[in-house]
Amino acid sequence: MTSDLILEDGYTIAKSLDGNHDELNGATIAVSGASGLIGRHIVSVLLALSKTYALSLKVIAIARDRKKLEAAFVSFRDEPNLVLRPCDITQDGSWPAEATHLIHAASPATPLLFATQPTRVILANVLGTIHGLQTAVDSGAYVQFLSSSESYGIVGEHELTTDGLISESSLGLINPLDVRSAYPESKRMSETLVIAYAAQFGVRGDIVRVSHTYGPGVAADDNRVQVQFAKQAAAGETITIKSDGRLMRHYTYAADCAAAVLRVLETNWQRNQPEAFNVADASVFISIRELAEQMLIAAGRPESDLVVGQPAAESAGWSKVPGGARLDTAKIEALGWRPQFTLSNGLGRIVDSLRVDQG
């Protein structure tokens, strides 16, 4: 069962996060988008940390759909420190006033929705962030916003580090007249909101810019390329690449991403103002074709089950940003974060979870 795998992942990460957890002890942490891929893993790691290190920690998992929220945490049904809160964070009053930390992970992240429901994407990011920050003005809570590496857009060579990396100071360009920009532009606006509320109201906060993620718990309607490959591999279907397959990207296992989110949260006391952190597995920067090949290996499938070069649909909502530049992860690694899951291990777990879900 997918929920069981996510529970296991939580304990794997918790055991790796030894050290001081004073920031979490006695905390009440609200996580929006808790039924989504990253949100589920954040909640799982938090609960595992609570048990592993005997912390007095309460987690409030927030999502719009009650049934999806309950299904996401079926393996946690007897967890006394978990509260499920079905609500819409685009609505005022949705963030719990009693929370000491707010993690805003709710945002549609599938390319199809960027093209077909762009306003939903914008509202989830921007209004969800505004309501969280406004709650923090009154409660004094810490707010962390989960942004995306897509917020960089197209980065010129002059903005790269001397090692050719995209650092947190890189700016990039995004076309505001492209409907697909609803996703990266609303991420950028939400980042600015965190900075603005800190400057005007003294709200504590941070920003994490997450790379492409994968792992158990992907949504049934998720049409991101890594998810489609996993679904095809798990179902015994041919993997079809709708390009030449040369585009290079980072891929980060969801539980490792959750660990980075919490490492930033636990060290927020070290910073005088909000900062941004790139979150990516620096060791996994591969082409889409290599990802497909590794997915087949994880599923025990032959190389012949790969078709390359099929034309992509114009309306799929895929990114128009050229790949090729790595993210600079020195800043998050300086906080002591390191990925715990290898690519082969992580791909095997997402394939296993999908095979269970497919029956």
Query: What's the CA gap between 263 and 261, in Å, rounded?
Result: 6
Tell me if 347 is assigned to some domain: no
Among residues 192, 190, 193, 159, the alpha carbon closest in space to that of 173 is found at 159
How confident is the model at residue 175, as a pLDDT?
A: 94
Q: What's the domain range around 158?
A: 2-216+250-283+322-340
pLDDT of residue 131: 98
Nearest residue to 108 (alpha-carbon basis) of 36, 179, 41: 36
pLDDT at 168: 97
Q: Is 111 inside any structural domain?
A: yes
What are 285's two structure tokens?
A: 């920067």
Tokens of 36: 């989504």
The pLDDT score that the predictor gives to residue 315 is: 47
133's tokens:
């920050």
- Asked if 83 and 61 count as a contact pair (C-beta separation under 8 A), the reply is yes
Q: Are 183 and 143 in contact (CB under 8 A)?
A: no
Asked whether residue 306 is domain-assigned, the answer is: no
The angle formed by the CA atoms of residues 196, 197 and 198, to the nearest 5 degrees, is: 90
- For β-strands 142-148 and 101-104, DSSP reports them as parallel
CATH label of the domain that carries residue 170:
3.40.50.720
Domain assignment of residue 224, yes or no: no
Establish if 355 belongs to a structural domain.
no
| Structure tokens belonging to residue 271 | 């910073």
For tokens 């927030």, the residue is: 62
Has residue 243 been placed in a domain?
no
With beta carbons less than 8 A apart as the criterion, state whether 111 and 223 touch.
yes
CA–CA separation, 253 and 1 (whole Å) = 18
Query: Which residue positions in the chain have pLDDT lower than 50?
Result: 314-315
Kindly state whether residue 307 falls inside one of the protein's structural domains. Answer: no
Using DSSP's 3-state secondary structure scheme, residue 129 falls into helix
Buried b (16+ CB within 10 A) or exposed e, 95-111: bbeebbbbbbbbbbbbb
With respect to residue 133, please indicate whether it lies within any of the assigned structural domains. yes
- Joined tokens for residue 94: 């949705």
d(CA 152, CA 187): 10
How high is the pLDDT of residue 317?
Answer: 55
pLDDT score, position 312: 54
Number of domains comprising the chain: 1
Model confidence pTM above 0.75? yes
CB 247 within 8 A of CB 1: no
Percent composition of the chain: helix, strand, coil (DSSP 3-state, to 5): 45, 15, 40
